[in-house]
Amino acid sequence: MSVLLIVATPQEAEFFGNLFVGNLGARVVVSGIGAVNAALSTYAAVLEDRPTLILNVGIGGAYPQSGLKIGETACSSAFVYAGLGAQDGSDFLDLERLGFPLHPGIFNRIPAWDGARAWAETLSIRCGEFLTLETVTGNLETLSKLEQRFPDALVEGMEGAGVAHAALRLGLPALEVRGVSNLVGLRDRSSWRIGEALRSCREVLERGLPLLRAEL
């Protein structure tokens, strides 16, 4: 099997890249920040060399209601375009309510690789919805709205749904794995634990890569 590893920054590529190349012959692509960069980079990379699995890896913020703690790692059961829709006064209309599918039968939620939950259970990590946002949450009002709208959300990031969107169009499975660097809420950059999140994520992947090789 082969893996296409999508990361947002060169620093993440350096931190994770040798792990994947050594284990799975992965191709490592730095997409840049945001879902559009991630989707375009994923699509272009697959056209050059089709992988077995597309994996988006990095750090993210955990929603307080998820119960995740800084330094833990989780994986996606679904990728959610959390801001894709329309406002109607105080109401939010997602693509299903608007009647505009993202893809036949798919609206804001793109399913992750169907082995994600079993993989997570074996590794004793959480698996659930990951939200993708163009603007990282930085106040309590936005946090409250997102937690009400997406009560099952674990983590937010900026690239995952873009990776999944490209994978969906290409007929390939995708999975997002992120270490928790901070809790979503008031923006306090000094409280972020990026190194701890990266190390946790790498440790999970070191244990999980042999399982991926066996299952795919």
d(CA 185, CA 203): 26
- The model's pTM is 0.94
Q: What was the pLDDT predicted at 23?
A: 60
| CATH of residue 132 | 3.40.50.1580
Q: Which domain holds residue 139?
A: 3-215
Q: pLDDT band for 97, please (50, 70, 90 cuts).
A: very high
Residues 6+ apart with CB under 8 A from 84: 94, 95, 102, 108
pLDDT confidence tier of residue 20, bands split at 50, 70 and 90: low
Residue 11 dihedral angles phi and psi, to the nearest 5°: -65, -40
Res. 71: pLDDT tops 70: yes
pLDDT > 90? residue 152: yes
Q: How many domains does the chain have?
A: 1
Average pLDDT, rounded, for the chain: 94
